[in-house]
């Protein structure tokens, strides 16, 4: 079962994995080269850094069926599909200890999630849920010892999310899946710090597990068969942080 799940995850996120391998391949000359010139030598000693980041993600809903699904003899299954999107945001990085930083981000994310409601007769109803969110990741970053102009790090924390909604979002409530406007997720990832003369560049991969149930208590044909819906996503980030002024 574990091998099957791993293969499934690799299939879902094969494009992100390929992009990461490409980025690391491009960075490999910097990794392999032991340059005598150390860029930004006192960078990690500064208390505060600012920067910005961009990310490409693949997101999907993790679902749990309700008792109503078991009682429904017309519905065969509900299948989540992974879809892509992107994020952009600003970074504040504060030094806590020698190898430990606290990072606070303000990020805007653009998401699409798809659920397929398959009936026993072979018909399928598709629910495509668009969302624009404001995310506030609060993360701890544990850095390795820097080697020349490169360092590795682990990162993780918690991310509250608020969905931006318009006044017409409640229209036709009976004809779509209804979700809450707030959620919370746990995040964990890994990345590389690459130091250049004027800035620090970092490719990073991070996974987000939704720990809150975003399904509302509304009653309709899309909400009834479900007990829990939580968003999960895998994101490839690139971040830029400034050097000394």
Residue 10 lies in a domain: no
Structure tokens at 186: 């746990």
Q: What's the pLDDT score for residue 22?
A: 52
Residue 197 lies in a domain: yes
% pLDDT > 90, the chain: 69
pTM of the predicted model as reported, rounded to 2 decimal places: 0.80
Q: What's the pLDDT score for residue 72?
A: 86
Q: Which residues pair with 143 in a beta bridge?
A: 153
Q: How far is CA 34 from CA 26, 29, 198, in A?
A: 16, 9, 19
Q: Are 237 and 54 in contact (CB under 8 A)?
A: yes
Residue 24 lies in a domain: no
Residue 111 lies in a domain: yes
Say yes or no to pLDDT of 3 above 50.
no
Q: What's the pLDDT score for residue 241?
A: 94
Q: What is the mean pLDDT of the chain?
A: 85
Say yes or no to pLDDT of 142 above 80.
yes
Residue 127 lies in a domain: yes
What number is the average pLDDT over the span 172-188? 88
Domain count of the fold of the chain: 1
Q: What's the pLDDT score for residue 170?
A: 56
Which range is most confident: 27-31, 200-204, 216-220? 200-204
Q: Which residue has the higher pLDDT, 23 or 194?
A: 194
Q: How far is CA 23 from CA 16, 20, 131, 237, in A?
A: 11, 5, 28, 11
Task: Please write down the HEC assignment for all residues of the chain.
Answer: CHHHHHHHHHHHCHHHHHHHHHHHHHHHHHHHCCCCCCCCCCHHHCCEEEEEEEEEEEEEEEEEECHHHHHCCCEEEEEEECEEEEEEEEEEEEEEECCEEEEEEEEEEEEEEEEEEEECCCCEEEEEEEEEEEECCEEEEEECCCECCEEEEEEEEEEEEEEECCCCCCCCHHHCCCECCEEEEEEEEEEEEEECCCEEEEEEEEEEEECCCCECCCCCCCCCCEEEEEEEEEEEEEEEEECCC
Residue 126 lies in a domain: yes
Residue 37 lies in a domain: no
**pLDDT tens-place string over residues 145-159:** 999 999 999 999 999
Q: Which residue has the higher pLDDT, 173 or 84?
A: 84
Q: What's the pLDDT score for residue 244?
A: 59
- Domain extent for 206: 48-242
End-to-end CA distance of the chain: 53
What number is the average pLDDT over the span 79-88? 94
Residue 114 lies in a domain: yes
Give the CA angle between residues 13, 210, 78 to the nearest 5°: 70
**pLDDT tens-place string over residues 203-218:** 999 999 999 999 999 8
Residue with tokens 């930083």: 101
Q: Are 20 and 236 in contact (CB under 8 A)?
A: yes
Domain CATH code at residue 125:
2.40.160.20
Say yes or no to pLDDT of 165 above 80.
no
């Amino acid at each position: 079962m574990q091998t099957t799940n791993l293969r499934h995850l690799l299939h879902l996120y094969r494009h992100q994995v390929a992009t990461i391998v490409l980025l690391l391949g491009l960075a490999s000359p910097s990794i392999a080269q032991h340059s005598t010139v150390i860029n930004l030598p006192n960078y990690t000693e500064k208390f505060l850094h600012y920067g910005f980041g961009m990310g490409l993600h693949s997101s999907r809903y993790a679902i749990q069926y309700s008792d109503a699904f078991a009682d429904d003899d017309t519905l065969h299954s509900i299948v989540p599909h992974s879809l892509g999107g992107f994020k952009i945001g600003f970074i504040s990085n504060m030094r806590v200890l020698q190898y430990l930083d606290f990072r606070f981000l303000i990020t805007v994310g653009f998401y699409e999630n798809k659920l397929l409601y398959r009936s026993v007769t072979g018909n399928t109803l598709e629910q495509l849920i668009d969302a624009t969110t404001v995310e506030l990741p609060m993360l701890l970053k544990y850095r390795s010892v820097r080697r020349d102009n490169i360092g590795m790090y682990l990162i993780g924390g918690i991310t509250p999310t608020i969905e931006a909604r318009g006044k017409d979002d409640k229209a036709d409530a009976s004809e779509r899946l209804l979700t809450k406007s707030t959620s919370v997720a746990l995040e964990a990832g890994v990345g590389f710090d690459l130091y250049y003369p004027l800035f620090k560049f970092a490719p990073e991969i991070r996974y987000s597990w939704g720990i809150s149930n975003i399904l509302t208590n509304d009653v309709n044909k899309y909400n009834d068969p479900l007990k829990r819906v939580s968003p999960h996503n895998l994101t490839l980030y690139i971040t830029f942080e400034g050097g000394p002024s």
